[in-house]
Amino acid sequence: MIEKVNPAHPDKLADRIAGALVDYAYSKEPNPRIAVEVLLGHHLCHIIAETSVHIPVGIVQETVHCIAGDGVAVDYCEVDQDSHLAVNQADGLRCGDNGIFKGMPLTDEQRKLSAIARDIYARYPCDGKYILDGDRLIICQSNAAAADLAALYPGAEINPLGDWTGGPNVDTGATNRKLGSDMADSVTGGGLHGKDLSKADVSVNIHAFLKAQATGKPVCLCCAIGDDTVDGLPYGAIVEEAHEFIHSLGGFERFAEWGLF
């Protein structure tokens, strides 16, 4: 059983806004320290950023309007990273948080739903959520007629309450609220989005996931803030692996669209 939401779902809009601001920080510094939280809905977007890179309000507003549409009022709060946390990275890359992490090989069912979600979104780039449980496929796709979706996926349960419009004025969105959609069975406690690569929630989660896909076996890891090695590797190598993965997708905003699969 697995659920996926598409990049126009309100929670993913929030993830994408956070990711785009991290992209901006990396365009200004090679190793920024940034963590962004976004709450979006009903023509209002609240953003708090703890960041070493100043992001002008105009850039923030442009980012929100590009991703969530015009007419959204932006409430932006920017603060410096906590000084105690900043010291952790003063002498080189070290684990940026305490945490447990799990990588799980994707199942055929999870891969199948990911392909279905992408296919529907390519045809209807609007808010959507999809669930697959064995032979039971549930499609909830805004701005798409049920008859058209039924022609694509006969036998699916489509828009159970009827055709709808969706978007952040129907439902609010928040960063890292769709981790099951992003990570499948690899979900533990850390969120993937809106953070720089020193954060273990990003880099160690990516490392564990990629290792699980490569080995076909579960991967379970833990780390403490300040660790300079994780899974027998220098933390810098973990960060570089995550950097290459995110770069291959096109950046942090693109990573936020679908998560790890």
Closest CA to 168 of 89, 239, 80, 65: 65
Task: Identify the CATH number of the domain defined by range 10-105+174-258.
Answer: 3.30.300.10
Q: The whole model's pTM is what?
A: 0.96
Q: What tens digit of pLDDT does each residue of 146-192 get?
A: 999 999 999 999 999 999 999 999 999 999 999 999 999 999 988 99
Amino acid at 214: A
Q: What tens digit of pLDDT does each residue of 99-144 get?
A: 999 999 999 999 999 999 999 999 999 999 999 999 999 999 999 9
Q: Give residue limits of the domains in the chain.
A: 10-105+174-258, 108-171
Dist CA 175 CA 193 (whole Å): 7
* Distance (Å) of CA 18 to CA 34, 118, 177: 10, 22, 13
Closest CA to 64 of 55, 72, 76, 56: 72
